[in-house]
Amino acid sequence: MRVTQGCFSFLPDLTDAQITAQVQYCLDKGWAVNIEFTDDPHPRNTYWDMWGLPMFDLRDAAGIMKELAECRRVYGDRYIRISGFDSSHGWESVRISFIVNRPREEPGFRLDRQESNGRNIRYSTHAYAAGRPEGERYGGS
Amino acid sequence: MTRAAAEPAKTEVAPVDAIDLRKEFEAVDIASVLAQLDKDLIGLVPVKTRLREIASLLLIERIRQKMALATTFPTLHMSFTGNPGTGKTTVALRMAGILHRLGFVRRGHVISVTRDDLVGQYIGHTAPKTKEILKKAMGGVLFIDEAYYLYRPENERDYGQEAIEILLQIMESQREDLVVILAGYGDRMEKFFQSNPGFRSRIAHHIDFPDYSDTELLAIAELMLDEQNYRFAPDARDAFVKYIAARKTQPLFSNARSIRNALDRIRLRQANRLVSTLDRILTSDDVMSIEAGDVLASRVFSGEATLEKRART
């Protein structure tokens, strides 16, 4: 099952040229662009691991694309996303975030239903991949 | 057009066989860039010649692209060598703008760094530091002033070497994203290149900045004054010609920088002269003009006398 989160995730995967254009848009807006990766696809997993340091004061997307290539080389079997952080007053938050790399196989999620008091039902989702230890979930690196 | 018909180009525009050179020339607007350079920079013939060559290359590359011929991105890394005050830094800062207008770099910003910004203080500190700077410079120009400080042969464990290696790697692999300009005094840069042969071969343009002639220095002085809305009175101009000749014979003469410093001191003396007589009406002409006395009061002329005196004793 294809994980959809962040911008553009219902579109076909972005090409590198398209990613470059999006990154350049972020830089032109003055946002700090970061690269993050994870192998826990649960939608509530908001804190992904960061690749290197946040990249402030860049003017051109080439530097970020170089880091992305490096990140893909090391964590090519995981989810990688790019986010743009707007530090201007009033925003001070992530303005854009999109997935730029995903595992070859995405096994999807299991839905658990728990019968509780009365007729209430509690739902929880488990990523099939999360059954294995971190780092080995998508074929290992 | 027969070749184009045989193997259709992937782009929508079919390759053309003939191109109006003048039209292309005007489209890129090279002429105005070069004219601006000629106006703003005095002397520096080798630099201007090289820039003209680079500009012509760009034009031809564009035309080749339109004709669907093989194009390779030219190596634009440069090394500026020359004596103090010959305009290395000035040209380097300007180069980014020129390359941007000519379409060689995408953003046209300059990141100006020295050894401190590239080399770390402990093991493992240098690589991230250098890479960070390189990332910032992508799409523009990385200007490394006093580049020979990067390499310190007297210290075996110096981290400068690590920075040099990363720099060389990026200079080779990301030529399209980044132009590196090294600058430094001639003899020390020569030593630097000797101990890092990889650098010399990766830099396409070694430009030597010649010393300015007396007339060029005078023209520079007048340009500087003009920018600050000052001007020489006719006799002050003659005095300044004498000043240049005298200053050149003295030690630590650093071309245009010495001229700028001299002008700063002359402005001080002019202000002092004006303020010394308070009871009068000043015209803008008075405030703008520099008199011979302002120039002749310089230490350089009295220094000449003391030197002679010293020679006599």
Please write the tens of the pLDDT for every residue from B94-134: 888 888 887 888 888 999 999 999 998 888 899 999 999 99
* B37-92 pLDDT tens trace: 888 888 888 888 888 888 888 788 878 888 888 877 788 899 999 888 888 888 88
Residue type, B226: D
The ipTM value here is 0.79
Across A88-104, average pLDDT: 94
Banded model confidence at residue A93, pLDDT cuts 50, 70, 90: very high
Q: Tell me which chain B residue has its CA closest to the CA of residue A64.
A: B135
Measured at the CA of B23, the angle between CA B19 and CA B25, to 5 degrees, comes to 100
CB contact under 8 A, B134 and A57: no
Task: State whether the Cα torsion B226-B232-B238-B243 is positive or negative.
Answer: negative
Q: Does B302 have pLDDT greater than 80?
A: no
Query: Residue A64: its chain B contacts at CB < 8 A?
Result: 135
Query: What proportion of chain B, given as a percentage, has pLDDT over 90?
Result: 17
Q: What is the pTM of this model?
A: 0.79
Chain B residues inside the 8 Å CB shell of A60: 106-107, 138-140, 177
- Check if A67 contacts B (Cβ < 8 Å): yes
Question: Do A57 and B139 make contact, defined as CB atoms within 8 angstroms?
Answer: no
- CB-based contact A38:A49 (threshold 8 Å): yes
3-state secondary structure of B298: coil
How high does pLDDT run on average in chain B?
Answer: 83
Compute CA distances A111 → A108, A116, A122, A123, A137, whole Å. 10, 16, 10, 7, 19
d(CA B29, CA B6): 34
DSSP 3-state of A119: coil
Chain A touched by B177 (CB under 8 Å): yes
What letter would DSSP give residue A130?
Answer: G
Kindly tell me if the per-residue pLDDT of B223 is higher than 60: yes
Chain A residues within 8 A of B127 when measuring between CB atoms: none
- pLDDT number for residue B141: 92
Q: What span, in angstroms and rounded, lies between the C-alpha atoms of A82 and A104? A: 19
Report whether pLDDT(B8) > 60: no
pLDDT in tens, B179-216: 999 999 888 999 899 888 888 888 888 888 888 988 88
Among B128, B132, B139, beta carbon nearest to A59: B139
Q: What pLDDT, on the 0 to 100 scale, is given for residue A80? A: 95
- Contact indicator for B40, B90 with CB cutoff of 8 Å: no
Distance from CA of B42 to the nearest CA of A (A): 32
What confidence tier does B27 reach under pLDDT thresholds 50, 70, 90?
Answer: confident
Q: Does B107 touch chain A (CB under 8 A)?
A: yes
Per-residue confidence (pLDDT) for residue B156, from 0 to 100: 77
Confidence of residue B2 (pLDDT cuts 50, 70, 90): very low
Interatomic CA distance for residues B109 and B138, integer angstroms: 9
Which residue out of B110, B132, B175 would a mutagenesis test of the A interface target, given it has the greatest number of A Cβ atoms within 10 Å? B132
In chain B, residues with a C-beta closer than 8 Å to the C-beta of A59 are 107, 109, 136, 138-140
Q: Interhelix angle for B255-276 vs B234-249, to 10°?
A: 130
Do the Cβ atoms of A59 and B174 come within 8 Å? no
Pairing state of beta strands B178-184 and B140-144? parallel
A-B Cβ pairs (cutoff 8 Å, strict): 38
CB contact under 8 A, B107 and A60: yes
